[in-house]
Structure 1
Amino acid sequence: MDNYRLGLILHPTRDVSPVVRTVLRWADRHNVGLAVGTGDRDRVPAEVRAVPTAELAAGCTALISIGGDGTMLGALRLTVEHPTPVLGVHLGKLGFLVEVEPADLPAALDRLAAHDVTLEPHSCLTCAVCDERLVAFNDVVLGRHPGEGFVTATLIIDGQRYGYYRCDSLIVSTPTGSTAYSYAAGGPLVSPAAQAVVLTPSAPMAGIARPVVLSPDELLRLELRPGSARAAVEVDGRVVKHIGDDGAIEVRYRRDAGLVVRLDPRRHRARSQLRLSLLDLPLLPDQLRELLPESLREEFDRRENPPTW
C-alpha cells in the first residue's frame, strides 16, 4: 500500500476519539498513513499528520468522514477539484449520506483498501455570489433575516425572466438535497439517480408559490428586487454571505462532483426510504420502533440511545 493515506474529517463538536482510535489501530496494522486538517491537530494523536484542510483531498487516497450528514457534506466539498472517495462513519441522528456504523468500521476499511466497494457519484451546485464561487452538495438558500421582512426575488432562467417570489426563503437543491430543507418546505423528493435542480419557496406570500424543477443544463439566477429584505446566503446549512436588495446569485449544476463510498448500495437505499417514510408519521419513538422489522430495531435503538464515551 505504498503512498496510501486516509484523511480524517471530524465532526466539529462531537467526541470522535473512539472512532479515531479505531482508524489508527487499523492504519497501524496495514501500514497506512493518516492525515487531518490543521484545525483538528489537537483532537488526534501525534502520529496523525496535520496538513492544511484544503490539501487533504489532493494528498489522500480516501477521506473518512466521522460525524453525520453535515460532516459528510463538508468532506465532499473538499473533493470537488480532487475526486477523492469519501467514506461516512455515522455519529448523527438520522443520516441519509453516511452508511457505516463505528462497530463496522474495520471491515469497511478492509473493503475500501481492497477496492471492494461501490463509488456513488454525487452532483453539486456551484453558486456565484459577490464575485465568489461557492459549492453545495445539498442546497443553496436565500433566507430572510428575522424581523426584516421577506425575500423578494426575480426568477431568471438562461437569461429569461419568469416571475418573482416573495417568501421566507428560496431553496435551490440537488437531488440529494431534495430530502433536506427543500423537503421540509414542501418540495418534491427527487431520486438521487436523477439529474435536476429543484427550486422551492418556503412560506410563500406572493408570486410563484410552487416548486420548480429545472434541467441540469439551465443557468438559474435569482435577483433580489428593490425593497426586498436583505438575505443570508446559506450553503449546505452554513451562512456564508449576506446580500442587499441589489444582490443576486447564479447557480449551476455540476455533474459527478463527489464520490461517496458505498458498501451495500441496495441496503442503504432501503434504509433511506424507510427513514423518509417515518418522517411524516406523527408518532413517538417507541411507536415508531414497533413499525420496524426486527432486523432494523437494533439500529433504531442505537440511534435513540447512543452510547456515552
Structure 2
Amino acid sequence: MISVGLVLHPTKPVAESVDMIVDSARDEPVRVVAREIDRTRVPPGVDVVPEAAFREQVDGVVALGGDGTMLGAMRLMTGRPVPILGVNHGNLGFLVEVTPSGLPSALRRLATGDYTVESHAALEVNAGETRACAFNDVVIGRTGAGRTASVDLTVNEVHYGYYKADAVIVATPTGSTAYNYSAGGPILSPSSNALVVTPVAPMSGISRPVVLGGGDRVSFQAEGALVVEADGTGAHPVAAGTDLTVHLKPDAAQVVRLSPRDYANRSRVRLSLLDLPLRPDQLLELIPLELRRNVAAAIDAPPEPPTADGSGAPTQGS
C-alpha cells in the first residue's frame, strides 16, 4: 500500500482536484493522507493524521496550489524527501508543472512510474535561536522604514566584506529566478551546486552579486538589529551582534517532472514575459485589432455542422 499525501493551498478552491485524486486511488493500492489542518477540506476516504505522522508515513506528495504551496510541501518533507508533484492552481507557477486539467494524465503516469525526479537544494539558516529552511531564498532585512541592513560577510572563516543596503538576499539556484532576479542578481543553473548573495539597493560596501560554492561556509554578522525571512514565510528578529550562518543542503527535496524539456521551455517563456516592460493588458494591445476579433469570433462561434465527408470542414470543391 502506497501513501500519497495532500498539501492544499489554504484558500484556493482545490476540491475538484482532491476528488480526482481520491477517485483515482480507489482502484489502486493507494492510501490518500491529509494533515489535520485540512480536515474540513477533504472528502471521506482520506485519512487525516497529525503533521508529524504525515511526514513519517507518506511515500509521495501532491501539492495543490501555486509555487508557495509547492515550497511549503518541500519544506515540510525536508527531513524525509519524497517525490512531490505540483498542480498549479496559482498564477505563473515556476515550480509547479501540471495544470488541473492535466491531472488525470499525470496520475496515470505516476501510477506507471513514467516520470523523473528533480533534486532541489535548500538553505539551512541558523541565527541565535532562529532555525529556518528555505528552497528559494533567505532575506536579511532592515527592521523598519528608513533603516538599512548592515552586515558583514564571512566565507570559509575569511572576512569578505560588508553590506549596507535595504536587504541582502541569499538564494538557491531555484530561487535565483525570484527576488534575486528582481534585484538584478544572476540566474543560476538548476544543476549548479551554488548559492548567490545579492544586495538590494546597496548604499555602500559590496554592491554586486556574489556567487559562492555549495560547500562554502557562509555567515553574516549583524551590526544592528535585523530580521531574517525564509521563503517569505514571516520575519524573525535577529539581535545586534548575532552570527547568522547559511548552509546549502543538497538533495533536500524531490520534485516530480513529467516532461523536463517542456517544463524548461515554459519556465523560459514565463521568465521572458517578466522582463517585458508591459502589463498583460498592454501586451494585448500589441496584437492587431483584426487578429483579436478573429480569435474572439473563433472562440464564440458555434461548431460547424458535419459535411458530406463527416468532418466539420468544407469538402474539396465546396
User: Could you tell me the TM-score, scaled by structure 2's length?
Assistant: 0.86
Cα separation, partners in 2 of 1:102 and 1:150, compared to 1, 3 Å? same
Structure 2 equivalent of residue 16 of structure 1: 14
Matched, 1:267 2:262: yes
Deviations along 1:268-296, one digit per CA (max 9) or x if unpaired, are 0000011111111012325546999xxxx
Q: Is the 8 A contact 2:119 2:254 kept in 1?
A: yes
Aligned partner of 1:55 among 53, 56, 59:
53
CA distance in 2, matches of 1:212, 1:60: 38
**Pairwise CA RMSD:** 1.7
Cα separation, partners in 2 of 1:100 and 1:291, compared to 1, 3 Å? farther
Aligned partner of 2:153 among 137, 152, 155:
155
Deviation at 1:29, TM superposition (A): 2.9
CA distance in 1, matches of 2:246, 2:286: 40
Kindly report which structure 2 residues correspond to 1:97-112, keeping only aligned pairs within 5 A, or say none: 97-112=95-110
Cα separation, partners in 2 of 1:274 and 1:156, compared to 1, 3 Å? same
Cα separation, partners in 2 of 1:291 and 1:37, compared to 1, 3 Å? farther
Q: Is the 8 A contact 1:57 1:63 kept in 2?
A: no
Q: Is the 8 A contact 1:57 1:84 kept in 2?
A: no
Structure 1 unmatched ranges of 5 or more? 293-309
Aligned partner of 2:240 among 241, 245, 257:
245
Q: Is the 8 A contact 2:61 2:82 kept in 1?
A: yes
Q: Is the 8 A contact 1:278 1:288 kept in 2?
A: no
Give the match's secondary structure for 1:146: coil
Deviation at 1:148, TM superposition (A): 5.5
Deviation at 1:39, TM superposition (A): 1.1
Deviations along 1:19-39, one digit per CA (max 9) or x if unpaired, are 111111111232421111111
Aligned positions, number: 287
Deviation at 1:57, TM superposition (A): 3.3
Deviation at 1:42, TM superposition (A): 1.2
Structure 2 unmatched ranges of 5 or more? 288-318
CA distance in 2, matches of 1:54, 1:16: 23
Cα separation, partners in 2 of 1:286 and 1:150, compared to 1, 3 Å? closer
Deviation at 1:61, TM superposition (A): 1.5
2:136 aligned partner, one-letter code: N
Deviation at 1:240, TM superposition (A): 4.7
The percentage of counterpart residues that share the same residue type is 46
Deviations along 1:63-95, one digit per CA (max 9) or x if unpaired, are 000001111011111222212100000011111
CA distance in 1, matches of 2:283, 2:175: 24
Kindly report which structure 2 residues correspond to 1:185-264, keeping only aligned pairs within 5 A, or say none: 185-225=183-223, 228=224, 230-264=225-259
Structure 1 equivalent of residue 134 of structure 2: 136
Deviations along 1:182-241, one digit per CA (max 9) or x if unpaired, are 11111101111111110011111111111100011101101111xx3x322111111252
User: Could you tell me the TM-score, scaled by structure 1's length?
Assistant: 0.89
Structure 1 equivalent of residue 173 of structure 2: 175
Q: Is the 8 A contact 1:58 1:84 kept in 2?
A: no
State which structure, 1 or 2, has the greater radius of gyration over its C-alpha atoms.
Answer: 2
CA distance in 1, matches of 2:140, 2:113: 40
